[in-house]
Structure 1
Amino acid sequence: MAPSFLGTRNGSDRRDSRAEGNGMAQRPSKGARLKDVAARADVSIKTVSNVVRGQVRVAEPTRQRVLRAIDELDYRPHASARHLRTGRSGVIALAVPELVQPYFAELAAAVIAAAAESGVSVLIEDTGGDPAAELSAACGLSDPLIDGVLLSPQHLDQNALARRERRVPLVLLGERDYEVPADHVLVDSVAAAREATAHLLALGRRRVAAIGFQNNPPHATSQQRARGYHEALHAAAVPYDPELTPPVGDFSRTEGAAAMRALLALPEPPDAVFCFSDLLASGVLRAAYDHGLRVPQDLAVVGFDDIEETRFCVPSLSTVAPDKPQLARLAVQALLGRIAGDPDAPHTTRHATHRLVRRESSTLPTAG
């Protein structure tokens, strides 16, 4: 079944270009109805409903047959009608700081795919990192057709989040330190940063810089990746040099290039750089090229996120690869479980796995 996607909204324009009214309800397919899907798949209407809702276990061969029929007939359940029958719309929201960032775009695609497996549609909200927009998302966007929210907050105040008025089911994403009643799905950024830095140190590099420190204001992502960097230096008995950790304003290519140029102006420049995001690393590669450096011979580089462009840039970028499909599945499962279950049950923290992908930016090709 093709993934369901209800459109993208942002803080300045809340209109959904693909739906009417409040932008939440799907338009039903003009021809296909539930009974048509049942006839095509040779199952009961109740079985089709169970597959669409994803709330009752259906034998996998039967489920696949129903999904094929749904795809062939282009059947789309009507969210408003479902809401009247069950009290649930089958619509969840994913709120991210910047959909234009490749990591969040890829995460959104993974969430849409994971939600589609349970017959759930996704509304994408671009908050722009604005605290008010993030709080609105945490409250369900003030829309009764939102069953629950996946939120990746950037600047949302913990106290404001704890006091949110509408207690819509909520799952937090990302390296947050919030002490609030919400489930949390994340990657162990400390361990991942430690592994990335240790990889550079294992190459024999001793002037290992880190680009991604954000101190004004402090950010949990930056803090946790900095912690992993420090732990790897300590384990290798390499002294920390504050000159090798220039601050950045954000995780962008521009900031990465500017930080790298500052490092190259040092009396003793680094021989390796761990970047807290792939976009920062992309800027580093550009600055190194402009300076006439060879990567990885003169400068080894590792990023974080494993966005698609890392496999196609020259040289290809070594990076920490969070398992985005797994993260999306864990998040959707946690949210659907909270929607269907006890809202006061103990909240959980779930970790998605990660791996270090070694590519050309840190590993010389072997002769052969």
Structure 2
Amino acid sequence: MSITIRDLAEATGFSVGTISRALKNQTGLTETTRAMIFHAAQEMGYDLSKLKHGRLRRIAFLLHRQHNNLSSSPFYSIVLHGVEAACRRAGIALSFVAVGPSEPVMEQIRVHQPDAIVCAGFFETELLEAIRTSGKPMVLIDMRLPGFTSINPNHRLGGYLATQHLIKSGRKRIGMLSGPHAHYSIQERVHGFRKALFEAKMLANPDYEIAIPHQAEEEKMVRQAVTDLLAMSEPPDALFCYNDNTALTAMNTCLDLGLKVPHDIAIVGFDDIRAAAKAQPALSSIAVDKEGLGAEGVAMLLRHAQPENLETTLAVQLIVRGSSVLSV
């Protein structure tokens, strides 16, 4: 038997009108009441797709504060551009909100009064669950979590293609600079890296894998990691880096230490940001359709008034440039 708003009212002690306003995220209720009602709806199995949200007029683009920096902006600024272009075509107003786990997230969202929410990049599970209590349709971009609708580039295939390219180029000691493994995208890229090594019957040397934490001195830590790798008795002759900013820093560190790229060490990045093609030598990278990610995220919201557990994956492409082969 399906759960009705009247069932929720009887179970919680709130009126039918209060239940309806809470689930539709209308004004006039405290956050505590709203969260209590939404939690009860989830626990009792109320079908949120019953709610009539109507035409989307406003979308909020949420970005975690750890991504709201110069290092991440070459990627997420283009994703945001894709979202903005799709919203403009559909006549939807777009607002940008940078959020963090220690902030009053729901209050920030409510100021913008969105009809739907796009979350780009990594978010803590607890933060996403809190955002979901708004009852608004949500889509995760470049992030995946069971129970949430999401769209991602094929991170695992990208890691595989990058590493396979280095193997086919004759590299024997391939290292990887990754980021925090709590991030879905990084987990997948590491899986692809290891899968390519396994299929080539090459040993994945744990000493060649270094995870760079996200913090203010990230560039300094990348330089130190590369310096440490090159100081090994058998240093890597190739590096797959989990994003282009890391790859560019790694390449500059190698050049500063007197190595020739790609003669002494080959390097491949991920994301194919604009700076990759302009580097000297130009950086090989896994190209991600960043605008396409943003546009498809909006399209998923438009196609499904209350999207539920949909997962979409976009193709990626290896772009070979001078950082990984002697001639292109």
Length-normalised TM-score, structure 1: 0.68
| Structure 1 position 105 matched with structure 2 position 77 | yes
> Is residue 2:302 matched to residue 1:332?
no
Corresponding residue to 2:207 among 243, 246, 262: 243
Return the match for 2:310 from 344, 348, 360: 348
Q: 1:280 aligns with which of 226, 246, 256?
A: 246
Secondary structure of the corresponding residue to residue 205 of structure 1: coil
Cα-Cα RMSD: 2.4
Distance 1:140 1:168, change over 3 A: farther
SS of 1:131's partner is coil
Kindly indicate whether residue 125 of structure 2 is the aligned counterpart of residue 161 of structure 1. no
Q: Give a deviation string over 1:307-337, Cα, whole Å, max 9, x none.
A: 1111111111100111112212210101223
CA distance in 2, matches of 1:189, 1:352: 9
- In structure 2, relative to structure 1, the CA distance for the partners of 1:159 and 1:152 (3 Å cut) is closer
Alignment of 1:31-70 (within 5 A): none
1:226 and 2:198 aligned:
no
What does 1:75-154 align with in structure 2 at a 5 Å threshold?
Answer: 90-97=57-64, 98-100=67-69, 101=72, 102-127=74-99, 130-133=100-103, 136=105, 141-143=109-111, 145-154=113-122
Matched, 1:211 2:165: no
Matches within 5 A, 1:245-264: 245-250=209-214, 252-264=218-230
1:346 is displaced (CA, Å) by: 4.2
Aligned to 1:316: 282
1: CA distance between counterparts of 2:101 and 2:174?
35
Unaligned 5+ segments in structure 2 are 1-52
Distance, in Å, in 1 between the alignment partners of 2:91 and 2:152 is 24
CA distance in 1, matches of 2:58, 2:179: 37
Deviations 1:67-124 (A, max 9, x none): xxxxxxxxxxxxxxxxxxx976722111123233211112111221122121222212
> Which amino acid letter does the alignment assign opposite residue 225 of structure 1?
R
Q: Distance between the aligned counterparts of 1:254 and 1:104, measured in 2? A: 22
* Partner deviation per Cα, 1:338-361 (whole Å, 9 max, x = no partner): 3xx3x3x64311112210111111
Distance (whole Å) between structure 2 residues aligned to residue 322 and residue 269 of structure 1: 30
Query: Alignment identity in percent?
Result: 27
Q: Which has the higher helix share?
A: 2
Q: Distance in 2 between matches of 1:289 and 1:295?
A: 7
User: Does 1 or 2 have the higher relative contact order (CA < 8 Å, sep 6+)?
Assistant: 2
Gaps of 5+ in 1: 1-85
Query: Could you tell me how far apart the structure 2 residues matched to 1:243 and 1:347 are?
Result: 38
Shift of 1:261: 1.0
Q: 1:163 to 1:365 in 2, by over 3 A?
A: closer
Cα distance in 1 for residues equivalent to 2:256 and 2:319: 25
